Amino acid sequence: MHVTGSSPPRYLPLAARQLALCLVSLLLLCIASGALAHGVADSDARFIEQTRGAQLLPFIYLGAKHMVTGYDHLLFLFGVIFFLFRMKDIGVYVTLFAIGHSVTLLYGVLSGTHLNPYLVDAIIGLSVVYKALDNLGAFKRWFGVAPDTRAAVLIFGFFHGFGLATKLQDFTLSEDGLVANILAFNIGVEIGQLLALGAILIAMNAWRRTQAFARQAFAANLALMSAGFMLIGYQLAGYLALS
C-alpha cells in the first residue's frame, strides 16, 4: 500500500471520527457479546412465537432491526466496500451479498434445513477475516494470486443468510402466514442493509478525502481482522462447550 509523504491533518472530519468510533464500538461489542454473534431481543422473540397470520410491517421492521444491529454483517460490509470508490462497483458487490444471504435465509427457514449456528457464525467471522486480509493484499503476497472477490462475497453471503436463518429457527414459527412473514423479514433485512450502508458510505467518503486515509486504512483492516478472529473464537468456544 502506497502512503503519501504529506503530513496528515491534525483533526479528522466529524464523519470520519464517527466512523472510527463506530468501528471501535463494534469491536468492543464483539468482545462483550458472548457466544452468539447476533441474537434476538426477548420482546421480539415473544412476538415471533405468538404471531399468527401474515404480519408484514412488523416482520419488515424486525428484519431491518436485525441487520442494523447485526455487527458481524456490518463488519463484513465495511470490509467489502473499504476500497470501493465507484457506486457501480459498490452496487455489484452489495447485490451479490444480498442475493447470497436472501437465498439461504429463505431456503433455510422455509425448507427447515438446519445447520449448527455456532459453526455458521464462525464462518461468518471467517468472512470478516478474509475481507480484511484481502484489503491488505495478503493473498497476493502469500500465494501470488488473490481469490475472486465477487465469488467470495457471494459465497460468504450464503453463510450470512444461514446465520440469519438459524436465529429464526430457534423459535416455533406458525405455518399460518409463514411464507409472507419470512419474505417480509427478508425485505426488512435489505432495507436495514441499505440504511447501514448509506451511513457507512457517508463516513467513508469523508475519511477517504483526508491525507491520513492510506496510513489509517492499514490499522483499520488490522482491527477488522482482529474482530473477525474474536468472532471465530467465541463461536468455536460455544460449539466445543456443547459438544
What distance in Å separates the CA atoms of residue 57 and residue 122, rounded to the nearest whole number? 31
pTM: 0.83
Say if CB 237 and CB 35 are below 8 A apart. yes
pLDDT, tens only, 68-103: 888 899 999 999 999 999 999 999 999 999 999 999
The distance of Cα 129 from the centroid of its chain, to the nearest Å, equals 12
What distance in Å separates the CA atoms of residue 149 and residue 30, rounded to the nearest whole number? 25
- Locate 93 and state its grid cell: 458487490
∠ Cα 31 190 105 (to 5°): 75
pLDDT score recorded for residue 106 = 94
pLDDT class of 154 with cuts at 50, 70, 90: very high
Q: Which residues of 17-41 are buried (b: 16+ CB within 10 A; e: fewer)?
A: ebbbebbeebbebbeebebbbbbbe
pLDDT score recorded for residue 17 = 52
In the chain, where the domains are located: 57-237
- Locate 12 and state its grid cell: 479528522
pLDDT score recorded for residue 239 = 92
> Taking all residues of the chain, what is their mean pLDDT, rounded to a whole number?
84
pLDDT score recorded for residue 37 = 44
Question: H or E stretch including 2?
Answer: none
